[in-house]
């Protein structure tokens, strides 16, 4: 069971029922053009092709644009099932019986503690949003360099975003089916997995809660 804490900025006024605002990439920037390219390629239906680094593009910018996109996708997907993910229904943040995620922010809470899934996810998404809004970490202006440890930052964000997918699949898939959202969830998750596989952004052991599903979703499109 993973008990690694997630860094976050606590805010008692935030509601676990509230969406995080969609993170928009400014129009007119190169990253905006990359985002349009990604959307157009996704439209082809070939997810393996869609995640590949466009020729001549910077890897950090490509990872940044897609990380923002996955944040927005997961934010929206989780937002559809928040009424089912409550303090009572999900008193711990888990991805099935074998995987329980505990909380720490490295500063205020240094020792990992148990918390409910809605609290954990709210803290996690708040933390990710703060990272994406930090121009020193995710620069949007042309000519502003990414930090030297950007790949490490992105890996941590993506690893933690995966946990939201894992919780939704293990604890709320029946509600997702009731809402008719399973195709959307599967496509989003498949896109996410192909992306992190393409650039080796999440260690295999972190994917263990959904490894069987990953194998099933990707089996038909192996290279």
Rounded Cα distance between 187 and 210, Å, is: 15
Token pair for 116: 């409910």
51, 221 Cβ separation under 8 angstroms:
no
Question: 83: which 2 tokens?
Answer: 């009424």
Closest CA to 187 of 69, 103, 101, 96: 69
Q: Which residues are annotated as a binding site for Zn(2+)?
A: 85, 90, 167, 172
d(CA 1, CA 98) in angstroms, rounded, equals 6
Write down the residue that tokens 């042309």 correspond to: 142
Give the span between the Cα atoms of 130 and 139, in whole angstroms. Answer: 13
Residues in CB range of 163: below 8 A, 6 or more apart: 93, 95, 101, 124
Cα 222 to Cα 210: distance, rounded to the nearest angstrom: 18
Q: What is the residue whose two structure tokens read 């996109």? A: 69
Residue pointed to by tokens 């190169």: 30
Binding residues: 85, 90, 167, 172
């Amino acid at each position: 069971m993973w008990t690694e804490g997630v860094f976050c900025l606590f805010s008692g006024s935030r509601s676990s029922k509230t969406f995080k605002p969609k993170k928009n990439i400014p129009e007119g920037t190169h990253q905006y053009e990359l985002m349009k390219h990604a959307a157009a390629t996704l439209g082809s239906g070939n997810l393996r092709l869609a995640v590949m680094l466009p020729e001549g593009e910077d890897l950090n910018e490509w990872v940044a644009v897609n990380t923002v996109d996955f944040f927005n996708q997961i934010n929206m997907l989780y937002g559809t099932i928040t009424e089912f993910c409550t303090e009572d229904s999900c008193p711990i943040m888990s991805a099935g019986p074998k995987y329980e995620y505990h909380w720490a922010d490295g500063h205020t809470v240094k020792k990992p503690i148990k918390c409910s899934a809605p609290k954990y996810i709210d803290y996690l998404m708040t933390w990710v949003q703060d990272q994406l809004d930090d121009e020193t970490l995710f620069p949007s202006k042309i000519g502003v360099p990414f930090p030297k440890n950007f790949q490490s930052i992105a890996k941590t964000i993506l690893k933690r975003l995966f946990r939201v997918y894992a919780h939704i699949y293990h604890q709320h898939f029946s509600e997702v089916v009731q809402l008719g959202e399973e195709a959307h969830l599967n496509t989003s998750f498949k896109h996410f997995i192909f992306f992190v596989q393409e650039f080796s952004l999440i260690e295999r052991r972190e994917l263990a809660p959904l490894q069987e599903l990953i194998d099933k979703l990707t089996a038909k499109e192996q290279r």
